[in-house]
Amino acid sequence: MAKNIKISRGVDIKLVGKAEQKLDAIDSATIAIKPTDFHGLIPKLEVKQGDEVKAGSPLFYDKNNNNIKFVSPVSGEVAEVVRGAKRRILEVRVLADKETKFETYDVSGVASLDGRGMAELLQKSGQWSFIKQRPFDVVANPNNKPKSIFVSAFDSSPLAPDYNYILKEKGAELQAGIDALAKLTDGAVNVVTRGDKGVFGNLKNCTIHSIAGPHPVGNVGVQIHHIDTLNKGETIWSVNPQDLAAIGSFLKTGKVQSKRVVALTGAEVKSPQYFEVTLGASTEKLVLGKVNEGARIISGNVLTGDKLENSGYLGYYHHQVTAIREDHEPAFMGWLAPGLDNLSLSRTFFSWLMPNKKYNLGTAIHGEERAFVMTGEYEQVFPFDIYPVQLLKSILVNDIEQMENLGIYEVAPEDFALCEFGCTSKINSQEIVRNGLDLIQKELS
């Protein structure tokens, strides 16, 4: 049943540098798939340096589930396998051909495939990697039967790309993707929209919900909590809409669709706009000349994204690149200054006088880590029926039973991003939540 939900807790952080609706294409010479983007994955390589691969050929697979392949988005030569400490694989880099050669998969009988057949097809073609699961916020485990599947049709995070704009001509692909997801679950495929339903309004074979409110309303975790709450022992899957369209496109053509539209945003970008790039593309060309020197480049949004070094590669699940000011300047008597340029969820800075101001925030922490002192602060931006501070504390003392009791299965690190942003004591709650989930996953396996 379609639901109409309104949440009130949360906050939309207004930043300078929203992407203008203008699209250009950028070709990158190299792309990289980073196993580190798939949390908890132990990759097993199928290629070595110098191998020729096609777009859609596997690069590596999941050690715990050999059928889940991770494929190359482009054709070309495996340029390098970058390893870190303990020979952990950090990046598999591929040097792209001028003309992309595709590995073709047989998709003639897709319509008649059952759930198992569909899952196998998606796994061997690398498309499975776009399906994530709750709890744990990792690539879905095909052995579980999800009670429902969620697609959040919008992103509410700061400066987020507008999927209605990006996908406005992808109705057919989205529909194909939805039809595939519907085979994978006995429950509903829930598409959650906010405001203008756009291209998502016409989708069939799914339940379209409306949700209203401030960020983190776009997080699937919040949507799941309010529409089909996750209990211990259950799983729910989710797919990003742009990835869903790619899955749909693959199912229609048999070729992997590796083009993604990303929003280049942030105060340090000269003219923020959308770019069509390849999955895992090098951000070198994307940034060169378009972003001010010395800025912090983030793959993803400012709350949950990953910091990229000079020429990093776009994160697998990221549809946004943000550039903001690096801020290392000590602030003289910062605790007393009026702070017109400081955004705060409290009203201790006079910036509350300007509710519609767009901020140019830097990377400063504005303080030092302290013990939990303030209370009720996280609850303001945490639209779950969960006690966030108590959950964090149970994680800090490794009390698994209490974590379960307090609802750790319902959350992912990204759901705590706003708590982390607004924390007076500067506690890194996303990291704590991730540690808790890791601990439980380890205990369960």
Partner 1 sequence: MKFIKNIFDSVRPNFEKGGKLEKYWPVLDGFETLMFVPGHATSKGSHIRDGIDLKRTMVTVILALLPCLLFGMYNTGYQHFVAVGQEATFMEMFLYGALKVLPIVIVSYGVGLGIEFLFCIKNGHSIQEGFLVSGMLIPLIMPVEVPLWMVAVATAFAVVFGKEVFGGTGMNILNPALTARAFLFFAYPTKMSGNSVWVSTDGIQTVDGFTGATALGNAVEQGMAGIPPYMDAIIGTIPGSIGETSVLACILGAILLIYSGIGSWRVMLSMLIGGYVMGMLFNAWGANSYMEIPAHHQLMLGGFFFGMVFMATDPVSASQTNTGKWIYGFFCGLLGIMIRVFNPAYPEGIMMAILFMNVMAPMIDHYVIQGNINKRLKRVKAVA
Helices (H), 13-162: 115-124
**Least distance between partner 1 and beta carbon 326 (Å):** 6
298 lines the binding site for partner 1 (CB under 8 A) = yes
Cβ proximity to partner 1: between 51 and 404 the closer is 404
Binds partner 1 (CB under 8 A): choice among 296, 312, 320, 395: 296
Burial of 387 (0-12, 13-18, 19+ CB in 10 A): middle
Residue pair 123/62 in contact (Cβ under 8 Å)? The answer is no
**Residue 172 phi, psi dihedral angles, 5° rounding:** -65, -40
Which amino acid type is present at position 367? G
302 lines the binding site for partner 1 (CB under 8 A) = yes
According to CB under 8 A, which residues from 144 to 163 bind partner 1? 158
| Beta-strand relationship, 4-6 and 20-25 | unpaired
Cβ proximity to partner 1: between 213 and 422 the closer is 422
**Residue 85 phi, psi dihedral angles, 5° rounding:** -60, 145
Binds partner 1 (CB under 8 A): choice among 46, 97, 234, 438: 234
Residue pair 291/268 in contact (Cβ under 8 Å)? The answer is yes
Cβ proximity to partner 1: between 173 and 414 the closer is 414
Binds partner 1 (CB under 8 A): choice among 22, 334, 353, 398: 334
428 lines the binding site for partner 1 (CB under 8 A) = yes
Q: Strands of 273-278's sheet, edge to edge? A: 20-25, 273-278, 259-265, 320-324, 296-299, 306-308
185 lines the binding site for partner 1 (CB under 8 A) = no
Residue pair 7/259 in contact (Cβ under 8 Å)? The answer is no
Among residues 357, 265, 273, the alpha carbon closest in space to that of 302 is found at: 265
- What are the residues whose beta carbons fall under 8 Å from the beta carbon of 145, sequence distance 6 or more? 185, 186, 235
Angstrom distance (rounded) from CA 212 to CA 231: 24
Q: Which string of x and - marks every residue 375-404 that binds partner 1 (by CB under 8 A)?
A: xx--x-----xxx-xx--------------
Residue pair 244/178 in contact (Cβ under 8 Å)? The answer is yes
**Least distance between partner 1 and beta carbon 85 (Å):** 17
Q: Strands of 207-212's sheet, edge to edge? A: 4-6, 207-212, 189-193, 148-152, 236-238, 132-134, 138-139
- What are the residues whose beta carbons fall under 8 Å from the beta carbon of 212, sequence distance 6 or more? 5, 6, 7, 194, 195
Cβ proximity to partner 1: between 225 and 290 the closer is 225
Binds partner 1 (CB under 8 A): choice among 217, 256, 324, 395: 324
Binds partner 1 (CB under 8 A): choice among 232, 270, 288, 353: 232
Q: In angstroms, what is the C-alpha Rg of the chain?
A: 21
Q: Which string of x and - marks every residue 7-46 that binds partner 1 (by CB under 8 A)?
A: ------x-x-------------------------------
Binds partner 1 (CB under 8 A): choice among 52, 84, 326, 396: 326
Binds partner 1 (CB under 8 A): choice among 163, 250, 382, 421: 421
Cβ proximity to partner 1: between 67 and 346 the closer is 346
Q: Which stretch binds partner 1 (CB under 8 A): 32-40, 80-88, 231-239, 248-256?
A: 231-239
**Least distance between partner 1 and beta carbon 215 (Å):** 12
Place of tokens 């494929």: 71
**Least distance between partner 1 and beta carbon 394 (Å):** 10
Angstrom distance (rounded) from CA 327 to CA 296: 9
328 lines the binding site for partner 1 (CB under 8 A) = yes
**Least distance between partner 1 and beta carbon 356 (Å):** 18
According to CB under 8 A, which residues from 118 to 147 bind partner 1? none
State the angle between helix axes of 241-253 and 171-184 in degrees (0 to 180), rounded to the nearest 10.
90
- How many residues lie near partner 1 (CB under 8 A)? 74
**Least distance between partner 1 and beta carbon 408 (Å):** 11
225 lines the binding site for partner 1 (CB under 8 A) = no
According to CB under 8 A, which residues from 359 to 378 bind partner 1? 361-368, 370-376
1 lines the binding site for partner 1 (CB under 8 A) = no
